[in-house]
Amino acid sequence: MSEWQSYRLSEFASVITGATPSASQSDSWGDYLDFITPSDQSDALREASPARRLSPAGAERLSSRIVPKQATNLTCIGSTIGKVSMATSPAVTNQQINSIVALEGQSDPKFIYYLIKGWSGALKQHAAGSATPIVNKTDLSNFSFLIPGLPTQQAIGDVLGALDDKIAANTKLAATADELTTSLYRHALAEAAWSEQTFADISLVSGGGTPSTKTAEFWDGDIPWATPTDVTGLQGPYLESTTRTISADGLAACASSLYPKGSILMTSRATIGAFALAQVPMATNQGFIVVQPNDPALNFWVFHEMRSRVDEFISLANGATFLELSRGNFKKFRVRLASEAVMAEFCKQAEALHGSARTALLENQALAATRDALLPQLMSGKLRVKDAESIVSAAV
C-alpha cells in the first residue's frame, strides 16, 4: 500500500462475528479460552477483561469464531454499540461483537485498534434499527478508511501503544496497591475484636439528596454532586470529579451537606457497596451513605471495615423495586476495632499505598488525554509520527 489511500476494511482486515454457546451446552464453559462480551470492554482501557472462559469443548464448537491476540473487538449491536477493545490472547466474542483481524502484510493490529477507536464514535449513525441498532458484518467490511503504508501504520501503533502500555501498567500498580492494603487490613483484624460500638458511635453517618430538576438555578454550579454512576465506573476508589454539579442554592435546597475531602461514600441503592473516597469537597444524591469517622486518623480503618462488610449490608437491605440499605440499619452494625497502635500502623501503611494508587490513576487521566489528542492528528496524517514520538516520550 502506498501512503494514505482509501481502502475498504475487507481489503486490509477480515471480520469475524462472535457467538455464544447454547444454553444446552453447559460443558462449553471452563478455563481454556477467553470469552469477551461488551461488559468486558472499558472505555478507559485498551485490553478487554473477560469475566468468563470457554472449555476445550466450547472452543471446539466455536472454532470458526476464534480470533487471535490483538484482534480489535468492536461492539456492533445494542445500546453499547461502538465500544472497542483489543483481545489480550486468542478469544471468542459474543454475537454483539464483530472482531477485526489484520491481514498479514497488509495492516498492523495495533494500528487497526486505534483506527477503529477513533472512528467508532460515528458507528451509531451507520446502524440500522431504532430499538436495537446494528451494524452487520457485511456493512462493516465495506466501510472505507484512509490508511498509510504498513511501516507508518506500525509506527503509529507503537507511539499510541506506548501510552496505553503505561496506562495498563499504572492500572495494575493501582490494583496491586489496593489488594495489598486489603490484605494488610485482614492481617490487622487478627488483633482486632468486636466492639460494642457501632458505625454511628464512631462516625457521622449522613446521606444525600437531589435539588429540584425544574429549577435551572440549582444546577451547573461549582459544587461537585455525586451519583452512584460516578462511583461504579471508577478504576480505583478515588472520586476526583463528578459528571454533574450544583450551585450553592441547589445545595441549600437538597438533603445533602457539602462533605469534606476524605469522606467515605458508599452506594446504598440497587448497587450496594460500591465505594469511593471523596478527593474534593462534594455533595451526593440520595443513593449514598456518607461516613465521616469522628477520628480522621482512622479514616482508612473505617473505609476497609466497611468494604469488608458488604455481604452483611446487603443482607439487611430491603425494597420491592430495588434493594436499599437504610442509614438506620447501617448505623446499627457493630464495628471491629484493634488497639490504637495497630490501627495507627495500618492507617499509615494504607495512606501510603492508596496514595500510590491514586497517583498512578491520576497519571492515567493525563496519559489518556494525550493519547486522545494525538489519535485524530495521527490518523489524519496531520501530525508526523516523529513529532508524536517526542510528545509521548515526555508524557511517559
Domain spans of the chain, in order of start: 7-146, 148-177+342-396, 193-337
d(CA 334, CA 326): 15
Model pLDDT, residue 125: 87
Contact 59, 39 (CB under 8 A): no
| CATH number of this structure's domain 193-337 | 3.90.220.20
d(CA 272, CA 275): 9
175 φψ region: left (φ > 0), alpha (ψ -120 to 50), beta (else): alpha
Sequential pLDDT tens for the chain (396 residues): 458 899 999 999 999 999 999 999 999 999 999 999 999 999 889 999 999 999 999 999 999 999 999 999 999 999 899 999 999 999 999 999 999 999 999 999 999 999 999 999 889 888 887 788 899 999 999 999 999 999 999 999 999 999 999 999 999 999 999 999 999 999 999 999 999 999 999 999 999 999 999 999 999 999 999 999 999 989 999 999 999 999 999 999 999 999 999 999 999 998 999 999 999 999 999 999 999 999 999 999 999 999 999 999 999 988 767 889 999 999 999 999 999 999 999 999 999 999 999 999 999 999 999 999 999 999 988 898 999 989 998 888
**Residue 16 corresponds to which cell in the numbers above?**
469475524
Contact 100, 9 (CB under 8 A): yes
Model pLDDT, residue 1: 45
The reported pTM is 0.88
Cell 506506548 belongs to which residue?
162
Residues 6+ apart with CB under 8 A from 336: 189, 192, 193, 194, 195, 305
- Sequence length of the chain is 396
| CATH number of this structure's domain 7-146 | 3.90.220.20
Nearest Cα to 95, choosing from 156, 195, 43, 22? Answer: 22
Q: What is the CA radius of gyration of the chain?
A: 24
Nearest Cα to 90, choosing from 42, 48, 138? Answer: 48
Nearest Cα to 282, choosing from 305, 261, 297, 307? Answer: 261
Model pLDDT, residue 44: 86
Cα(first)–Cα(last) distance of the chain, in Å? Answer: 31
Contact 90, 69 (CB under 8 A): yes
Nearest Cα to 94, choosing from 58, 129, 119, 126? Answer: 58
Residues 6+ apart with CB under 8 A from 231: 239, 265, 267, 274, 275, 276
d(CA 99, CA 273): 34
Domain 7-146 identical in fold to domain 193-337: yes
Angle CA 258–260–263, to nearest 5: 110
Q: Strand 203-206 to strand 288-293: parallel, antiparallel, or no bridges (unpaired)? A: antiparallel
